[in-house]
Chain A
Amino acid sequence: MDFVLQIYPALLRGALVTVLLTVMSGAAALAVGFAVGLARLIPSRWVSVPLTIYVEVFRNTSSLVQIFYFFFVLPLVGIRFEAFTTGCAVLALNFGAYLSEVVRSAILSVDKGQYHAAVALNMPVLLRYRRIIIPQAIPVMLPAFGNYALEMLKATSLVSLITITELTFSGAQLVQFYGHPTEIYLSIFVIYLILAIPFIVLNRNLEKRAGGKWKTRVPTT
């Protein structure tokens, strides 16, 4: 226990980086998800084909492979980022691909009558989406967003492998330095669990509110 107290400032600093990573990558992924999800509805091949390729590539390959690819290969072609930026970017692109599917299917699930009514009222396209379609689609997206937020917290542990000193990497370093894997890894396990509690509570509430109705409309994973 003394040992745990001795290392806990280091673990706390790591936990802070994990939170920062989760928030930043999460916000960026949300932006990517909305942008791509909406843009894929544009009926032009020049837009939809590249975006479909992006989504399929990121959804069908391992996120860890994507992280290593960005970390090792991009510098070879002259693109250099800090490890932290690379980690954030890959997580955002990876989750953005999944979120774009949530956004797209939620928008497609809005009753067609709403769309036709907006057209009949002579609403311009942007107003139509901003005032009619998207507000009705957002409640449909929320349960899936909640699940992905928790997945994002867990996924940030992967960037420990490209030397970002978040919670997992600080732990691995401490183990190399002091030994005591039991105390250190169990502490990390508990810290992740504590960090996850807000998401767990959030998801419970979202699911309760959603009832059975939303679940069937949008895939949650």
Chain B
Amino acid sequence: MEDKGANDMTFSLQTMLDVLPALLRGTVVTLQATAAGFLLALALGLVLAIARRGSNRAIVMVIDLFVTVIRSTPLLIQLYLLFYVLPLYGPSLSPLVTGVLGLGVHYSSYLSEVFRAGIDAVPKGQWEASVALQMPRAKTWYRIILPQAFRIVLPQIGNYMISMYKHASLLATITVVELLGAALNYAGETFRYLEVLTIVGVIYFIIGYIFSRLIKYIELKLAY
């Protein structure tokens, strides 16, 4: 604690070495939150997209309203509602679980639209052929329609995954010690914002860049 460098712009290597382990632990939490949140978003988004194709108009309207409301309001406020308000009336979840829930629900609204577009893009003949073959409806979905739809929207899904990975830094505001949270904890004690936030930026960039290259590659592989 001897080094209170609030107005000190020298770049300290020692600080960087000191903070790195905490930041790497934070990175792992960020990636875990992203992975769990994204799985939730995929599942929920898929359910919403399939349910929306039913013939019940009330369900369609409710889903459209839900998707519009969730998409049009900031994730930060949704996290605050889940973290500060929900425990007053329901279960009190750990910060990380709350964050995963928030990320998953928020992004499910985007992904349901993506899936909807993908399902619409599967040629009608595929449905008709399945009916002609007397294939049960559930089997038509998971053997015929969804594999083709998934292939169509894979690049977009990837972009949303990167977006969620960056958005996961918001979990710092509900006390999750992910990458940014770990950084702010350390910097708050030592005032070494320069070094700490620079490393955070570099870590975000490296992982984000790898992700986005990977998605470009998949996109090219799938292009035909």
On A, residues with C-beta under 8 Å from B are 56-57, 59-66, 68-69, 72-73, 76-78, 150, 154-155, 157-158, 160-161, 168, 172, 175, 181-182, 185-186, 188-189, 192-193, 196, 199-200, 215, 219, 221
Q: CA–CA, A78 to B117, complex, Å?
A: 49
Most buried by B among A56, A61, A219: A61
Most buried by A among B72, B81, B184, B205: B72
Contact A193 B172 (CB under 8 A): no
Q: CA–CA, A78 to B194, complex, Å?
A: 12
Besides A60-B205, A63-B166, A65-B204, 9 new A-B residue pairs in contact (Cβ under 8 A), listed by A number:
A68-B180, A68-B197, A73-B193, A73-B194, A168-B74, A168-B77, A168-B80, A175-B84, A221-B160
Tell me whether A76 and B7 are in contact in the complex, defined as CB-CB below 8 angstroms, given that A181-B85, A193-B69 are known contacts: yes
Contact A196 B73 (CB under 8 A): yes
Q: List, in ascending order, chain B residues with CB within 8 A of A199's CB.
A: 72
Contact A72 B81 (CB under 8 A): no
Nearest residue, chain A, Cβ from B87: A181
Asked if B212 is at the interface (CB within 8 A of a chain A CB), the reply is yes
Q: CA–CA, A155 to B74, complex, Å?
A: 7
Among candidates B73, B166, B169, residue contacting A189 with C-beta atoms closer than 8 Å = B73
Q: CA–CA, A168 to B170, complex, Å?
A: 14
Contact A192 B73 (CB under 8 A): yes
25 contacts between A and B (CB under 8 A): A59-B208, A60-B205, A60-B208, A61-B166, A61-B204, A62-B204, A63-B166, A64-B170, A65-B201, A68-B193, A73-B193, A77-B9, A77-B194, A154-B72, A157-B76, A160-B76, A168-B74, A168-B76, A168-B80, A189-B77, A189-B81, A192-B72, A193-B72, A196-B72, A221-B163
Q: CA–CA, A186 to B117, complex, Å?
A: 31
Give min CB distance, A140 to chain B, whole Å.
18
Q: List, in ascending order, chain A residues with CB within 8 A of B156's CB.
A: 221
Give min CB distance, B111 to chain A, whole Å.
11
Among candidates A61, A63, A68, A172, residue contacting B205 with C-beta atoms closer than 8 Å = A61
Tell me whether A154 and B75 are in contact in the complex, defined as CB-CB below 8 angstroms, given that A61-B204, A175-B84, A221-B160 are known contacts: yes
Tell me whether A161 and B9 are in contact in the complex, defined as CB-CB below 8 angstroms, given that A62-B204, A68-B197 are known contacts: no
Asked if B145 is at the interface (CB within 8 A of a chain A CB), the reply is no
Contact A72 B193 (CB under 8 A): yes
Nearest residue, chain A, Cβ from B71: A150
Q: CA–CA, A130 to B130, complex, Å?
A: 52
Give min CB distance, A21 to chain B, whole Å.
12
Contact A69 B201 (CB under 8 A): yes
- Which residues in chain B, 58-114, are within 8 Å of chain A measured between CB atoms? 68-69, 71-78, 80-81, 84-85, 88, 110
